[in-house]
Structure 1
Amino acid sequence: MKDGHQEFLQEVSKGSLFKLEHMHMMTKLRPFVCPFLKEASEMFEMYIYTMGDRPYALEMAKLLDPQGEYFNSKVISRDDGTQKHQKGLDVVLGQESAVLILDDTEHAWTKHKDNLILMERYHFFASSCRQFGFSCKSLAELKSDENETDGALAKILQVLKQVHCIYFDKDQEDLVDRDVR
């Protein structure tokens, strides 16, 4: 790596860049992820659900939640799913009407699109752009990163707060008839 690029990575990552030797990969946590998880966990019961295999899912859970306070072992991988190349709510505890999905891949949720909040995919590394067929420059190549105050997670957190407020509106009589969709 060029020295200037290395310095940029150290500056922009500030402890959020991880080299996972045993998985032969690097990953970077999205800006604002820690405050996002803290606030979201106060409103919702959260799961990690990935199309990655179980070892990848557990490794990401360790990075995102090292103390086990947000997900508490609620980690679902493609190995746990009941349909190949699809994610489904049949492996999540909770009524479908009370489950919100936050994902960057719409086609993984064909049976639960009404529960889905589609979010912008995070392309920090060039390999991510290539993997998903984008011909754009990655954030690392642009020597940039998302802004914590108005990036994707900050925007999604505002949406989650609104949904939570509406769902638990005190003027509604019965929780049974409520639906996040």
Structure 2
Amino acid sequence: MGTSSYAESVLKLIDPDQVYFGHQVIAREASPDYKTLELVKADDKRRVVIVDDTVDVWLYDKRNLCKITGYNNFRDHRTRSESYAEEKKDESRSKGSLASVLKFLQEKKLHLVLDLDHTLVHSRLVSDLFIKEKYLLEETDSRLDLWRCNVPSHYEYLIKLRPYVHEFLLEANKLFTMHVYTLRSSSYVKTVLKLIDPDNVYFGHRVVRKGASPYYKTLDLVLADKRRVLIVDSFDVWPYDKRNLYQITEYRYFRKLRARSESYAEQKKDESRSKGSLANVLKFLQDVHKIFKEELDCKDV
């Protein structure tokens, strides 16, 4: 139970860009004698997992607690045995307490596999733009949802983010461990991920690319229990895992080659943010997570 000034100093080391915690910090001044979930801004206490090395400070919320072995790099004044620092060694990275807790938390989460193209973004080679879409080339500097990118070995692309994509990823990340699975090239994937996940917060290294399986997608390449995986993508590329799949309406901002009808871009409009496909998929995912959590709570009891 550190002071706010101590917490600020530590957070500058582990979260300098305020990516993980933002302003969600509770220090000793708020509750000097014990810790309580009453001070945590969460809609439902049952959905909160506490990771702490001290049980006694949580007088009323022990049911939510996942006890972690305390990390002591320096010797406690009351102990006789040498510390990690004195022995010039440290806790194991792969088998230490944080790794064990992470595994426990991952087992309490479902996995979400997302496609990139037509799900989160739509892209088009600049050279393939229709005449009535070329006005967009003048708008890339003034818009946050449209990017002109040079992809190595693939010439120049216009990449359009699907409406609501940032909100979708932010909320879905709270409920699921997220993966990207795409049949596009690694250079293209890196370019898109820099736009939708620049700080590597949502997907980490959980990216499956074209080279692993060039013609279709399979959950055999996703490091997760299939029974805990949801896929948001098109049916045709998942021949063996359709049971896990939620088909999303394809996002096409640019006109499909050989199509007769005008595109969103040509009509100078776009898919709805609040009532579009990503907003609807998020509601579905929240419902699925709620059912999963209720079943998990029943098993814990």
- Asked whether the two chains share a fold, i.e. TM above 0.5, the reply is yes
Q: Is the 8 A contact 1:106 1:118 kept in 2?
A: yes
TM-align CA RMSD? 2.7
Q: After TM superposition, give the deviation of residue 121 of structure 1 in Å.
A: 0.8
2:249 is equivalent to residue 120 of structure 1 = yes
CA apart distance, 1:157: 0.3
Q: TM-score, normalised by structure 2?
A: 0.51
Letter in 1 for 2:170: K
Alignment of 1:91-170 (within 5 A): 91-103=221-233, 105-126=234-255, 129-130=256-257, 134-170=259-295
Count of residues in Structure 1 that have an aligned counterpart in Structure 2: 167
Q: Distance in 2 between matches of 1:91 and 1:4?
A: 38
User: C-alpha distance in 1, partners of 2:149/2:294?
Assistant: 44
Please state if 1:72 is matched with 2:201: no
The Cα shift of 1:135 comes to: 3.7
Change (3 A) 1:152 1:9: farther
Counting aligned pairs with the same residue, the percent is 31
Aligned to 1:10: 139
Quick check: which has more Rg, 1 or 2?
A: 2
The verdict on how the C-alpha distance between 1:16 and 1:172 changes in structure 2, with shifts beyond 3 A counting, is same
Structure 2 residues not aligned, in runs of 5+: 1-129
Please identify which structure carries the higher strand content: 2
Task: Report the alpha carbon displacement of residue 61 of structure 1 after superposing the two structures with TM.
Answer: 1.4
User: Could you tell me whether the CA contact under 8 Å between 1:8 and 1:143 is conserved in 2?
Assistant: no
Change in 2 beyond 3 A, CA 1:30/1:171: closer
The 3 A distance-change label for structure 1 pair 139 and 4 is: closer
* C-alpha distance after superposition, 1:35-89 (max 9, x if no partner): 10000000001111111111112222111100110001211111122xx411001
Partner of 1:38: 170
- Match for residue 217 of structure 2? 87
Distance 2:133 2:239 in 1: 44
Deviation at 1:141, TM superposition (A): 1.1
- Give per-residue Cα distances to partners, 1:89-132, cap 9 Å, x unaligned: 111111111000001x2111010001001001111112xx22xx
SS state at 2:194 partner? helix
How has the CA–CA distance of structure 1 residues 4 and 157 changed in structure 2, closer, same or farther, with 3 Å as cutoff? Answer: closer
- Kindly provide the CA deviation profile for residues 125-165 of structure 1, in whole angstroms up to 9, marking residues without a partner as x: 12xx22xx644321101111011111110010000001111
Q: What is the DSSP-based 3-state SS (H/G/I as helix, E as strand, rest coil) of the residue aligned with 2:158?
A: strand
1:171 to partner: Cα distance: 7.0
